[in-house]
Amino acid sequence: MRAIAVFVLLALFPLAMQAMDNLFYVSLASRILIYAIAATSLNLVLGYGGMVSFGHAAFFGAGAFVVGILAVEGVRSAWIAWPVAVAVAALAALLIGAMSLRTRGVYFIMITLAFAQMMYYIFVSLKTYGGDDGLSLPGRSTIGIGTLGNDLVWYYVVLAILAAVLYGMHRLAHSRFGRVIAAIRENEARAEAIGFPVYRYKLLCFVIAGAVGGLAGALIANQSSYVSPSLLHWIQSGTLMIMVILGGVGRLWGGVIGAAILLGLEHLITDYRIGWLASLAPNYQDHAGLAIGIVLLAIVMLAPEGIAGLALNKKGK
């Protein structure tokens, strides 16, 4: 019920902004929703599966580049480009996961990071498709009845996909597969000892998350009609991870809340100048990272289970 209320509010948001003639916020909101999808997909491996993947940006970026490269080559239909982006991201996740999941703990973190950085350098050196400078798309994808160029239409497309992803993840978490994944996170040795082929479950979980991450990438490429290798950089992986931790590891809404807080904060700090703070430190806005860091620290200290966890605990769980 609460979920439906949230989505009704999100659906009304652009109309309110339109009434106030402030469509910039619709665009910002689409961006936040796309990152919410990406963070939610990371939450599937990190939170539900207990696999601390530090390379999730690889799948996000791969999805974005597939859409970018296809668009430059003249394939602009979302019906073709997006599924290809998802498939490529899933394949990348299958290869990276198959190798990484043979390790555990810190080694798993490092090896996923290493694979993602390798992919980052591959796209940096891809001079045909922009290399360092990134790649500008001729425009957003088309869906047959027109392009997705209109920011309002675009917002609703992204919102619908986020809703589908969250619903899918909700179903997954309570399905047989979801139970097994949670059991593996809880006690991997025992899960194997009662007869579950643990490696296969973890790998499939990793691939599903990679595929959804690729879908988010396909969307982010459309968001500003531009893809940059920085989408694959380890800082991007870290950002997604921070979103999940902020919002709530293993909580359905964790990725959404985390994305909203982090990107919202970033926007607030760089776009609104606080008088008294500026008189103390005139160029504080150039160091948004520091301010965000302090706020994040406070949130993590006060809500160690993330904001979603906080809300749940208040209700007496």
Choose between 162 and 203: whose C-beta lies nearer to other proteins. 203
Considering only CA atoms, which of 123, 101, 121 is closest in space to residue 111? 101
Residue 248 C-beta: closest distance to other proteins, Å: 16
Determine the straight-line distance between the first and last CA of the chain, rounded to whole angstroms.
17
The alpha carbon of residue 305 and the mean position of all alpha carbons in its chain are separated, in whole angstroms, by 19
Min separation Cβ 212 and other proteins, Å: 13
Please identify, using beta-carbon distances, which residue of 90 and 157 lies nearer to other proteins.
90
Closest residue by Cα to residue 54 from 233, 220, 176, 179: 233
42 neighbors 241 (Cβ within 8 angstroms): yes
* Token pair listed for 29: 């909101």
Nearer to other proteins, 171 or 287 (CB): 171
Binding site for other proteins (CB under 8 A): 171-172, 174-180, 183, 186-187, 189-190, 192-198, 201, 204
What is the nearest approach in angstroms of other proteins to the Cβ of residue 202?
A: 13
Please identify, using beta-carbon distances, which residue of 36 and 180 lies nearer to other proteins.
180
Shortest Cβ 165–other proteins spacing (Å):
13
Query: In whole angstroms, what separates CA 190 from the centre of its chain?
Result: 31
Provide the 8-state DSSP code for 23. Answer: T
Closest listed residue to residue 87, CA positions, set 199, 203, 213: 213
Structure-token pair, residue 157: 């497309």
Kindly report the number of other CB atoms within 10 A of residue 313's CB atom. Answer: 11
CB contact burial 83-97 (16+ within 10 A = b; e otherwise) = ebbbebbbbbbeebb
Query: Which CB atom, from 175 or from 313, has the smaller least distance to other proteins?
Result: 175
Toward other proteins, which CB reaches closer, 24 or 167? 167
Contact 194, 38 (CB under 8 A): no
Measured from the CB atom, the residue of 177 and 226 that comes closer to other proteins is 177
